[in-house]
Chain A
Amino acid sequence: MSKHYQVLIVGGGTAGITVAAQLLHYSKHFKHKIAIIEPAEEHYYQPLWTLVGAGVSNIETTKRSMESVIPEGADWIQEEVVSFDPTNNNVYTKEGNHIQYDYLVVAAGIDINWRAIKGLPETLGKNGVCSNYAYEHATYTWEVIRNFTSGNAIFTHPNSPVKCGGAPQKIMYLAEESFQKTGVRDQANVLFYSANPAIFDVQKYRNALEKVIDRKQIQPHFRHHLIEVRGEEKVAVFESLETGEQQTVSFSMLHVTPPMQAPSFIKDSPIADDGGWVNVHPYTLQHTQYANIFGIGDCSNLPTSKTGAAIRKQAPVVVQNIISSIKEKPLAATYDGYSSCPLVTGYNSLILAEFDYNKNPQESMPFNQAVERKSMYLFKKDFLPIMYWDGMLKGIM
């Protein structure tokens, strides 16, 4: 069976839904001329998983049915894309169908590779091994933190691009504060093993976070990544990225940020760059080879931090540039690499990092955002989810 749409969107996550909603908000003309191909039944607000892991948000509030978020006027094709034929403007699905398009938006997110760490899939969700990087596991993180009494509490950051570069450390700051509250902090060693060379790569926020680490007496181990977990023994194996030397560390709690990669159906397609990501122009988000294809969000090769906040700034650029293409006008909208990371540093404090391609701070609040603030914490916990469901996904924010 073959269908044709003016705009076809692959992926009904943050980016796909936002683009569809913004196009429909722009003009009624797009009604039923847009389709979203998305196999999943549910849509998730992933940024809240950090606070679920910290015991302050309910996991149920992070999930809504896909049907409820597909914008009115967009058709939902509940199938899984397996390949692209950009020369003939076609995408093929696992269900054996192909769909034709005038314009294609690729928004399929990032793949999590639990298997890249030996022993991890077998022990995740038990033996004190947890991760906020999946809906099914985030609640176990809180169970581990809540029941922690003594020993090493280890937090990891992998040697790969990740979605939300701040999430691996946010949960660590929250856990540390929780240990203080329950009176077990003195019996705990909080260790951060990160493949990165520093705590954050924007200097202004790095300075602020280094102070947080000092204050909380967290021991950082940079340029190290997790390669194996022996759950029963409660032992984690790390490798130095500089010397290749391996180090075995025991743990009572291990929070894993898993390695991530470009989705394989994109990696093996003609629209990918050498790293497997959708190859787009960093400013216009148009594909470097196929003018009627645009890439957005975690699956694109944009050299910036992969976050929902970045997508909020990318979506209007994709939308405007598709409209310009339809009107046969030059692409005028540009993206400056804006990304943001609300770095939760405790139960009532947050540093709102906002920056661009040049790693220059690009702050939107009228105060110094490198200072830890309670107002910003409440903003993340209470306001951002509402802004997401009722503003961003409706195409108006």
Chain B
Amino acid sequence: MPHTAIHSDDNKDLLHELKQPEIHQALTGIIHRLPEIERTLQSLEQMTQFSMHVTKDQTTMKALEERLQLSRVDEESLEALIALLAKLPTILEMVEQIEKIALFIKHVVHDEQSMEQIKTSIAELPFVQQQKEVKDFFEAVQTRHKSIEQHISIFTIIKWMKEPHVQKYLKYMQATLDVLKAKK
């Protein structure tokens, strides 16, 4: 019968396969590990049975429900968690950026040559230089003031008023007073 012929062919193939050394080896391995596999299956079965018991046990389920309701994990939190999970790649990217910036700062701070360079550069910045000019100016004034022994009279003040710098500031004062008057 053709049907039987096919079967006997299949058996031949099977026998041939079983004779292959790698199949033989794999089967031996499985046989050796059978007790371990059995144990795993048993614990899986136990876990399934346990879950079934728990879901059937109304009292335990009710208590669990109440606990969940009491806990701050509500639907909103779960939705937020899911939304957060979806955003994880972007968050990871941001954290990586922050980490890179932090590492960069760390490297700069530990790099003596770079720190030296920063100090020089800052000293060269225009506003720092301006501040330095102002500082120098006040220091010069301070020193001069100490050396002036002459008595300041009303005539000295009149002489001051002719000074172009003083004139300039007096004009500013005049202009300010004019603007203030106009605003009133």
| Residues of A that sit less than 8 Å from B by CB | 61, 64, 378, 381-382, 385-387, 389-391, 394, 396-397
> Could you say which of A381, A382, A394 contacts B104, with CB atoms under 8 Å apart?
A394
Is the Cβ of A389 less than 8 Å from the Cβ of B111? Answer: yes
Which residues of B lie under 8 Å from residue A394 when comparing CB positions? Answer: 103-104, 107
Which residues of A lie under 8 Å from residue B100 when comparing CB positions? Answer: 391, 396-397
For the complex of A and B, the 9 pairs showing the least CB-CB separation, nearest first, are A390-B107, A382-B121, A396-B100, A390-B108, A386-B114, A391-B104, A396-B103, A394-B107, A390-B111
Measured in the bound complex, the distance between the Cα atoms of B101 and A198 in whole Å is 40
Measured in the bound complex, the distance between the Cα atoms of B104 and A386 in whole Å is 9
Is the Cβ of A389 less than 8 Å from the Cβ of B114? Answer: yes
Residue B113 at the A interface, CB < 8 A?
yes
Which residues of A lie under 8 Å from residue B77 when comparing CB positions? Answer: none
Measured in the bound complex, the distance between the Cα atoms of B121 and A389 in whole Å is 16
Is the Cβ of A64 less than 8 Å from the Cβ of B103? Answer: no
Is the Cβ of B117 less than 8 Å from the Cβ of A386? Answer: yes
Residue B118 at the A interface, CB < 8 A?
yes
Is the Cβ of A390 less than 8 Å from the Cβ of B121? Answer: no
| Residues of B that sit less than 8 Å from A by CB | 100, 103-104, 107-108, 111, 113-114, 117-118, 121, 124-125
A290 vs chain B, min Cβ distance (A): 32
B20 vs chain A, min Cβ distance (A): 28
Dominant secondary structure at the A interface: helix
Measured in the bound complex, the distance between the Cα atoms of B111 and A385 in whole Å is 12
Is the Cβ of A64 less than 8 Å from the Cβ of B104? Answer: no
Is the Cβ of A386 less than 8 Å from the Cβ of B108? Answer: yes
Q: Which residue of A lies closest to B118 (CB)?
A: A386
Measured in the bound complex, the distance between the Cα atoms of B113 and A64 in whole Å is 10
Is the Cβ of A61 less than 8 Å from the Cβ of B108? Answer: no
Measured in the bound complex, the distance between the Cα atoms of B118 and A386 in whole Å is 8
Is the Cβ of A385 less than 8 Å from the Cβ of B117? Answer: yes
A47 vs chain B, min Cβ distance (A): 14
Is the Cβ of A396 less than 8 Å from the Cβ of B111? Answer: no
Between A and B, 14 residue pairs with Cβ closer than 8 Å are: A61-B117, A382-B117, A382-B121, A382-B124, A386-B108, A386-B114, A386-B118, A390-B107, A390-B108, A390-B114, A391-B100, A394-B103, A396-B103, A397-B100
A190 vs chain B, min Cβ distance (A): 27
Which residues of A lie under 8 Å from residue B125 when comparing CB positions? Answer: 378
Q: Which residue of B lies closest to A348 (CB)?
A: B126
Which residues of A lie under 8 Å from residue B114 when comparing CB positions? Answer: 385-386, 389-390
Measured in the bound complex, the distance between the Cα atoms of B109 and A389 in whole Å is 12
Which residues of A lie under 8 Å from residue B107 when comparing CB positions? Answer: 389-391, 394, 396
B114 vs chain A, min Cβ distance (A): 5
A288 vs chain B, min Cβ distance (A): 32
Which residues of A lie under 8 Å from residue B111 when comparing CB positions? Answer: 386, 389-390
Measured in the bound complex, the distance between the Cα atoms of B125 and A302 in whole Å is 38
Given contacts A381-B121, A382-B121, contact A389 B113 (CB under 8 A): yes
Measured in the bound complex, the distance between the Cα atoms of B121 and A368 in whole Å is 25
B106 vs chain A, min Cβ distance (A): 9
Q: Which residue of B lies closest to A374 (CB)?
A: B126
Measured in the bound complex, the distance between the Cα atoms of B112 and A390 in whole Å is 11
Q: Besides A378-B125, A382-B117, A391-B107, 18 other CB < 8 A contacts?
A: A61-B117, A64-B113, A385-B114, A386-B108, A386-B111, A386-B114, A386-B117, A386-B118, A387-B104, A389-B113, A390-B108, A391-B104, A394-B103, A394-B104, A396-B103, A396-B104, A396-B107, A397-B104
